[in-house]
């Protein structure tokens, strides 16, 4: 009887582990890890914002918007997952420690990441032993002339930092003031995500 109970427990753990690896299993809880701006390229047009302002003010500000304005930036509705937890500490840490140049004159830098680089970026996250499914948006480009931002929607297996799904998307910008203008792109990506999830699931 004890062996049977132990076997059932092992099988249940294995079943849960498999479940946690599927971004399309909407009954699985997902942890929102935040907006990763550590390799952002803002294509300079008429902006007066500085590198330091981006890193110290806007990166945390945009992340806080998603956390504190949950009705507007509805991760559960966007991702389709019934339960969403929030833990943006790991992504905030990589944003604050990033050493790159965020502002560029090169319009081609708007989309400069690939899936291999995305996987390398995820490996840097200090998730402090968390397990289950994580979701992060890696924001790679902003271009006011194009009126949109480019980012990657990335689902990961948090205990191993394995990337389960990584898809590039763009979102139209819009809003009053620098912060809100680019927050509009984040909102647009979230609104389009339910349709994209259905498309990605079909392959």
14, part of any domain: no
Buried b (16+ CB within 10 A) or exposed e, 159-182: eeeebbbbbbbbbebeeeebeebb
CATH of the domain at 181: 3.40.50
**Token pair listed for 185:** 């792109």
> Distance between CA 60 and CA 120 in Å, rounded?
22
Beta-bridge partner residues of 148:
143, 172
114, part of any domain: yes
As a whole-number percent, the residues of the chain with pLDDT over 70 amount to 90
172, part of any domain: yes
What is the domain range of residue 150? Answer: 27-202
19, part of any domain: no
pTM of the model: 0.90
According to DSSP H, which parts of 20-81 are helical?
Answer: 51-53, 59-68, 75-79
The total domain count for the chain is 1
13, part of any domain: no
119, part of any domain: yes
Helix or strand holding residue 182 (H, E) = helix 178-202
pLDDT of amino acid 47: 76
pLDDT of amino acid 3: 53
81, part of any domain: yes
pLDDT of amino acid 46: 75
The whole-number average pLDDT for the span 116-142 is 97
196, part of any domain: yes
Express each pLDDT in 146-165 by its tens digit: 999 999 999 999 999 999 99
């Amino acid at each position: 009887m004890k062996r049977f109970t132990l076997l059932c427990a092992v099988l249940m753990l294995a079943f849960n582990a498999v479940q946690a690896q599927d971004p399309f299993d909407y009954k699985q809880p997902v942890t929102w890890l935040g907006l990763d701006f550590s390799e952002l390229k803002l294509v300079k047009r008429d902006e007066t914002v500085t590198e330091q302002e981006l890193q110290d003010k806007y990166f945390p500000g945009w992340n806080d918007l998603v956390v504190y304005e949950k009705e507007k930036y509805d991760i559960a509705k966007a991702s389709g997952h019934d339960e969403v937890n929030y833990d943006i500490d790991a992504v905030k840490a990589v944003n604050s420690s990033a050493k790159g140049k965020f502002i560029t004159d090169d319009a081609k830098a708007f989309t400069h990441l690939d899936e291999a680089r995305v996987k390398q970026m995820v490996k840097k996250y200090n998730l402090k032993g968390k397990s289950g499914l994580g979701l992060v948006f890696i924001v790679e480009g902003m271009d006011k002339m194009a009126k949109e931002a480019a980012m990657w929607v990335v689902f990961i297996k948090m205990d191993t930092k394995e990337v389960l799904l990584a898809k590039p998307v763009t979102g139209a910008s819009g809003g009053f003031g620098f912060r809100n203008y680019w927050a509009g792109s984040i909102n647009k990506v979230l609104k389009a995500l339910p349709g994209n999830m259905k498309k990605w699931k079909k392959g």
